Chain A
């Protein structure tokens, strides 16, 4: 038997907190996307931990789908960032405050 599951859950909670903190205080859109990836990884770690504790493969299958959704989110999000950058030539979130094209 290995490490208690609660240790992993505390670690995942701290990782999620760091990710959300970065999402709140950083202004570069690309770094904000990286912080979203940190939060998704915290959720993945929680899924795998519960999968081990309950002896259930469903948690790992869920992580598989989270990975796919993360890849799709990054592709679409970075496409939007490139489109915004071509029009405004900035990647800072505060400079994209106007919705007018």
Chain B
């Protein structure tokens, strides 16, 4: 079967169309809310709406495991981390968007983004971007078997990348701890010798 024809003239049913447009409305309204709301907390809540919309479209495309991970990791962990930092820093007051230091930055940005998106869509309509061999890394296997297919792929074909992400996560965690600790000890008590500070910090962490 011609893949381009599959893309263009796939037979669709009414529930699919309804789910797609509901997800698209969630995604677009949430995204516009993220960039227009002045309070960063409201932006984070709009981001949750967008992430849920993306999860809905993942389920619509039979990527069940990724939809669950999207909700748990993105909406559950990353947005909570955003909200924690916003409230920890106390920057949840309104940002004044009216004044901008660079004149004509905003209209220029709008013009550039509209040009880029329309050219992307035009290129996608022109080019044969979805033609290629099918099932190269294994089939998606549809509902109820998606997790097994994804697990086999990650632990065989992409095993090295999987191990590399483990190293990446460890490096990120260690880096975050180093960043937070160094600035904290530099600003709090500079006169006390460093060893005493670290011993106190270790005792405090042990109590937690």
- The residues of A with any CB-CB pair to B shorter than 8 Å are 1-11, 13-22, 24-28, 30-31, 33-35, 37-38, 41, 44-45, 48-58, 60-61, 63-65, 67-76, 78-83, 85-87, 91-92, 94
Contacts and interface: CB of A to CB of B under 8 A. Distances in A.
B169 A54 contact: no
A17 B61 contact: no
B169 A72 contact: yes
A74 B78 CA distance: 7
Contacts of B153: 57-58, 60-61
A57 B161 CA distance: 15
18 contacts: A4-B8, A24-B105, A24-B112, A27-B100, A30-B91, A31-B40, A37-B47, A44-B54, A45-B58, A56-B140, A58-B153, A60-B153, A64-B154, A67-B74, A69-B168, A76-B175, A87-B183, A91-B89
B81 A18 contact: no
Contact of B113 (A21, A48, A73, A83): A21
A24 B113 contact: yes
A38 B24 CA distance: 13
B180 A79 contact: yes
Shortest 4 CB-CB contacts between residues of A and residues of B: A22-B35, A58-B137, A17-B117, A24-B109
- What does DSSP make chain A's interface, helix, strand, loop or mixed? helix
Most buried by B among A25, A26, A63, A86: A25
Contacts of B112: 24
Contacts of A94: 101
A37 B17 CA distance: 26
Contacts of A68: 165, 168-169
A79 B176 contact: yes
B158 A75 contact: no
Contact of A50 (B20, B130, B146): B130
Nearest to B136: A56
Contacts of A71: 73, 77-78, 169, 172
Contact of A3 (B60, B100, B137): B60
A56 B132 CA distance: 11
Given A34-B44, A76-B172, A87 B187 contact: yes
A19 B161 contact: no
B62 A52 contact: yes
Given A17-B114, A18-B32, A31 B50 contact: no
Contacts of B89: 81-82, 85, 91
Contacts of B81: 74-75, 78
Nearest to A13: B120
A15 B53 CA distance: 11
Interface in B86-119: 86, 88-89, 91, 95, 97, 100-101, 105-106, 109-110, 112-114, 116-117
